[in-house]
C-alpha cells in the first residue's frame, strides 16, 4: 500500500485531518487541485469555536493563533435601533476566537511541511476506485502523467464542487438543499474595526455584518441580490450601503478605505447523506454547506475531522471499527443541529424579496425577545460558541 489514508483536498479539512493522523503515526498523502498560493488567497471564515481552537492545539498548530488571534466574549445582534448584546462568556462560560481561515490553513501547511507529508498540488481528473475491495485506490493526472496510489481509506475533503461526494452512486445518496435568494458581498479593508465585537445587523435595507481579522483589518458583508456582480459595486457604493444599514452610532465611527478583497458568496444550506461509502468518508464542505450567518462552515468541517480522525486511528492502530461504522451517523447529528442554527440565523437576519409586513414584524419580535429573555440569548450563545462534540 502506498499510504494508509489518501486525502482528496488540501483545504482546512484535509490538512487538519492529515496533521492529526500523522501525529498519531498514520501515513497520508494529500491531493489538491489548486496551487498552494490559490488555496491561501481565499478569504473565508473568521470565527473559530472553542472546540476548533482545542483541535488546533491538539494538532500542534496553535502558536500563531494563540499570539495573533483574538478571543471574543460576545457579539451584537441589531436592527436599526435595537442593539442586543449576546454575552457568550457570561451565558456559557465560553468564548470564540477571531482568527482567519487563511491563517489556519497557512499554519497547517507549515506544520505538514515540517512533518514531511506529501502534499501534491495541481492534480487533475481524480478518480476514487475499489472502495469495496481490501485496498482502495486513487488515480490522478499530474503534469500530463496518469498516477495511481493505493490506500486503506480515502477521505473526501474536496469541498462542495469536489469529486468525492459524486463517487457515491446517485441512487445511494440523499440530498437536502435550500438555496437562498441572495448572496453576501464581502470586503476586506485595512481599516480598524468599527466595533470591538462582531455586529450582525438586520436592517430594513437588508442584512449587514461588521467583522474583523485584527486591530488593523476589517471584514464587512452586506446582503445583495444574486443578480449583482462584484463589478457593480465600487468601494464607495459598498461603504455607503454598509453605513446605511448599521446602527447610526456605529456608522458614524466607521473608518473607510480601499478594499483589498471583494467577492460575492451565494447562500445555501445543503446536506448529503450518508458520509461513508465503503472505504470513502466525506468531510466538511464535500458533504454539507451552511449559510455563513452562524459562522459554522469551518467549525463543522473541524468537528467532522474530530470524529473521523479518532475513528481512523482506532481502526488502523487497534483494529477497532466502531468509529468507522458510526462516523456517518454521529457526525450527521451535530451537522443537522448546525444546519438548524444557521438556517434560523439566516431567516431571522435577512430580508427576503417580495416578503410581506408580517416577515419584518417576526424579525423585529425575535430581536425584542432576545433583548428581554436571558433564556433566548443563552440558546443563541450555546449554538454560536459551538455544541459539544
Joined together, the cell numbers standing for residue 348 give 431571522
Burial class of 356 by CB neighbour count within 10 A (0 to 12, 13 to 18, 19+): exposed
| Residue 23 known to be catalytic | no
* Distance (Å) of CA 90 to CA 77, 87, 382: 16, 6, 11
* Distance (Å) of CA 207 to CA 77, 103, 184, 202, 247: 11, 27, 9, 5, 12
| Residue 247 known to be catalytic | no
The Cα–Cα gap between 34 and 38 comes to 6
Kindly indicate which of the ranges 45-53, 102-110, 128-136, 302-310 contains the residues binding ligand PHB, using the contact rule CB under 6 A: 45-53
- Give least dist CB 356 to ligand PHB, A: 27
Applying CB under 6 A, among 4, 21, 44, 269 the residue interacting with ligand RFL is 44
**CB distance 68 to 76 below 8 Å:** no
Cα angle 263, 269, 273; round to 5: 130
Task: Give me the residue label for grid cell 474536496.
Answer: 158
Joined together, the cell numbers standing for residue 31 give 491531493
Report the partner that residue 193 touches, choosing among ligand PHB, ligand RFL, none (CB closer than 5 to 8 A by kind): none
* Residue 11 in the binding site for ligand PHB (CB under 6 A): no
Kindly indicate which of the ranges 5-13, 143-151, 330-338, 381-389 contains the residues binding ligand RFL, using the contact rule CB under 6 A: 5-13
By beta-carbon proximity to ligand RFL, the closer residue of 270 and 364 is 270
- Give least dist CB 384 to ligand PHB, A: 9
| Residue 200 known to be catalytic | yes
Applying CB under 6 A, among 18, 21, 22, 32 the residue interacting with ligand RFL is 32
* Residue 383 in the binding site for ligand PHB (CB under 6 A): no
By beta-carbon proximity to ligand RFL, the closer residue of 15 and 26 is 15
| Residue 292 known to be catalytic | yes
Nearest to 110 by CA among 67, 45, 65, 46: 65
* Residue 265 in the binding site for ligand RFL (CB under 6 A): yes
Buried residues in 252-286 as b, exposed as e (16+ CB within 10 A): eebebeebeebbbeebebbbbbbbbbebbbbbbbb
The Cα–Cα gap between 160 and 284 comes to 9
- Among the listed residues 109, 288, 292, 350, the single catalytic one is 292
Report the partner that residue 219 touches, choosing among ligand PHB, ligand RFL, none (CB closer than 5 to 8 A by kind): ligand PHB
Nearest to 51 by CA among 3, 97, 116: 97
* Residue 219 in the binding site for ligand PHB (CB under 6 A): yes
Letters for 342-381 (x = contact with ligand RFL by CB under 6 A, - = none) are ----------------------------------------
* Residues of the shown chain interacting with ligand RFL in the complex, contacts defined by CB under 6 A: 8-14, 31-34, 39, 44-47, 101, 123, 126, 157-159, 161-163, 184, 186, 265, 284-285, 292, 295-299, 301
Q: Name the residues annotated as catalytic.
A: 72, 200, 292, 296, 384
* Residues of the shown chain interacting with ligand PHB in the complex, contacts defined by CB under 6 A: 45-47, 198, 211, 219, 292-293, 295
Amino acid at each position: 500500500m502506498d499510504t494508509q489514508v489518501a486525502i482528496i483536498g488540501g483545504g482546512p479539512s484535509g490538512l487538519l485531518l492529515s496533521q492529526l493522523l500523522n501525529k498519531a503515526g498514520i501515513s497520508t498523502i494529500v491531493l489538491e487541485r489548486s496551487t498552494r498560493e490559490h488555496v491561501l488567497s481565499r478569504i473565508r471564515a473568521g470565527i473559530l469555536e472553542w472546540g476548533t481552537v482545542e483541535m488546533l492545539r491538539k494538532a500542534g498548530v496553535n502558536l500563531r493563533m494563540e499570539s495573533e488571534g483574538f478571543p471574543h466574549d460576545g457579539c451584537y445582534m441589531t436592527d436599526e435601533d435595537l442593539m442586543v448584546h449576546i454575552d457568550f462568556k457570561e451565558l456559557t462560560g465560553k468564548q470564540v476566537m477571531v482568527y482567519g481561515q487563511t491563517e489556519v490553513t497557512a499554519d497547517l501547511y507549515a506544520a505538514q511541511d515540517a512533518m514531511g507529508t506529501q502534499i501534491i498540488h495541481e492534480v487533475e481528473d481524480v478518480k476514487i476506485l475499489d472502495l469495496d475491495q481490501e485496498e482502495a485506490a486513487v488515480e490522478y493526472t499530474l503534469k500530463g502523467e496518469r498516477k495511481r496510489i493505493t490506500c486503506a481509506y480515502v477521505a473526501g475533503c474536496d469541498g462542495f464542487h469536489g469529486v468525492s461526494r459524486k463517487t457515491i452512486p446517485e441512487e445511494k445518496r440523499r440530498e437536502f438543499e435550500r438555496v437562498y435568494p441572495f448572496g453576501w458581498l464581502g470586503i476586506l479593508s485595512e481599516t480598524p474595526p468599527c466595533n470591538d465585537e462582531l455586529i450582525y445587523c438586520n436592517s430594513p435595507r437588508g442584512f449587514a455584518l461588521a467583522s474583523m481579522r485584527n486591530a488593523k483589518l476589517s471584514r464587512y458583508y452586506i446582503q445583495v441580490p444574486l443578480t449583482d456582480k462584484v463589478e457593480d459595486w465600487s468601494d464607495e457604493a459598498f461603504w455607503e450601503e454598509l453605513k446605511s444599514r448599521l446602527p447610526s452610532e456605529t456608522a458614524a465611527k466607521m473608518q473607510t478605505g480601499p478594499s483589498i478583497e471583494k467577492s460575492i458568496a451565494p447562500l445555501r444550506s445543503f446536506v448529503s447523506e450518508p458520509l461513508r461509502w465503503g472505504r470513502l468518508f466525506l468531510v466538511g464542505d464535500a458533504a454539507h454547506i451552511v449559510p455563513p450567518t452562524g459562522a459554522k462552515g469551518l467549525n463543522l468541517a473541524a468537528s467532522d475531522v474530530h470524529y473521523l480522525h479518532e475513528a481512523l486511528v482506532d481502526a488502523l492502530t487497534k483494529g477497532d471499527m466502531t468509529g468507522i461504522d458510526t462516523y456517518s451517523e454521529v457526525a450527521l447529528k451535530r451537522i443537522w443541529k448546525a444546519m438548524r442554527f444557521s438556517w434560523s440565523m439566516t431567516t431571522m437576519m435577512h430580508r427576503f424579496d417580495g416578503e410581506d409586513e408580517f416577515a419584518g414584524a417576526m424579525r423585529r419580535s425575535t430581536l425584542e425577545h432576545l433583548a428581554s429573555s436571558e433564556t433566548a440569548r443563552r440558546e443563541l450563545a450555546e449554538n454560536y460558541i459551538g455544541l459539544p462534540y
